[in-house]
Amino acid sequence: MMKRLAIFVPLLMFIGFVALALFGLGKPTDRTIESQMVGQKIPTFELAGLDDAHPGLSNEDLAQGTVTLVNIFASWCLPCIAEAPTLGKLADAGVVIHAIAIRDAPEDVQRFLTKHGDPYRRVGMDHDGRTQIAFGSSGVPETFLIDGTGTIRRQYIGEIRADQVDDVLAAIAEVKR
């Protein structure tokens, strides 16, 4: 009897795996997964700027009392193009958005901003992606919500979609309070 049952064990284990995988695929793609850095002070960094209109970015700039978004992007990243109009809407709503351009060339970034819109105040050029790693980010695009004291409050992984604008504005309002 035991032997008969044992024959079904692999099948049952596999069914368990399929159930687990279905759960994994079916789970809502939560774009606000909290990283290790959320709730902590941003690390010390200083990045050169893009051009005269976009000065560089340092941790000091993010601790001036304003709630800011830091958008980690690159001109070679396709989802960043998809995200550009949404960031434009946020900027139009009065949100201060800075950018960190990952492994990018100034000309390419300028071309990107001309073509897809420019929501950014400051653009730091992160040539080797080291600042990105210090933020606890591992891909582009990602966006960090930073309060006036320079503490990371939220992290948005992947592009911010148009239907998330209200969520982001609400999150900013909450941090301001």
Partner 1 sequence: MIPEIGHAALWLAAGLALVQALAPVLRVTGLSVPAALGQAILCLIAFLALMWAFVVSDFSVGLVAANSHTAKPMIYKVTGVWANHEGSMLLWVLILALFGAVAALRARAMGERFRTILLSVQAVLGIGFYAFLLLSSNPFERIAPAPVEGSGLNPLLQDPGLAFHPPLLYLGYVGLSVTFAFAVAAMIENRVGPAWARAVKPWVLGAWSFLTAGITLGSFWAYYELGWGGWWFWDPVENASLMPWLAATALFHSVGVLAARNALRNWTVLLAVIAFSLSMIGTFIVRSGLLTSVHAFAVDPERGVFLLILLALYVGGALCLYAWRAGSVTAGAPFTPISREGGLVANNLILSAVLGVVFLGTLYPLMLEGVTGEQVSVGAPYYESALLPLLFLLLLVMAAGPLMRWRAMDLPTLGRRLVPAIAGGLVLAGIGAAIGPRSVLALVGLAFAGWLAIASLMILRGRKLRRVPASVWGTAIAHMGVAVLTVGVSVSGAMSVEKLANLRPGESTSIGPYEAVLTHIEPAGGPNFTAVRATIAVKRSDAVTMLLPERRNFTNPMNETTETDILVAADGNLYAVIGQGDGGGRWQVRLHWQPFVAWIWYGGLMAAIGGLVAMMGGRRRTGRALP
Residues that bind partner 1 (CB under 8 A): 4, 7-8, 10-11, 14-15, 17-18, 20-25, 27, 29, 31, 33, 74-76, 78-79, 103-105, 108, 127-129, 138-139, 157-159
Q: Cα–Cα distance between 21 and 70 in angstroms, integer? A: 34
Residue given tokens 């290790």 in the structure block? 36
Q: How far is CA 14 from CA 11, 21, 52, 78, 163, in A?
A: 5, 10, 60, 37, 38
Q: Cα–Cα distance between 14 and 18 in angstroms, integer? A: 6
Question: What's the min distance (Å) between Cβ of 93 and partner 1?
Answer: 25
Question: What's the min distance (Å) between Cβ of 104 and partner 1?
Answer: 5
AA identity, residue 161: R
Indicate the residue among 25 and 52 with the shorter CB distance to partner 1: 25
Indicate the residue among 59 and 76 with the shorter CB distance to partner 1: 76
Indicate the residue among 49 and 158 with the shorter CB distance to partner 1: 158
Indicate the residue among 26 and 65 with the shorter CB distance to partner 1: 26
Question: What's the min distance (Å) between Cβ of 112 and partner 1?
Answer: 11
User: Phi first, then psi: what are they for 13, rounded to 5°?
Assistant: -60, -40
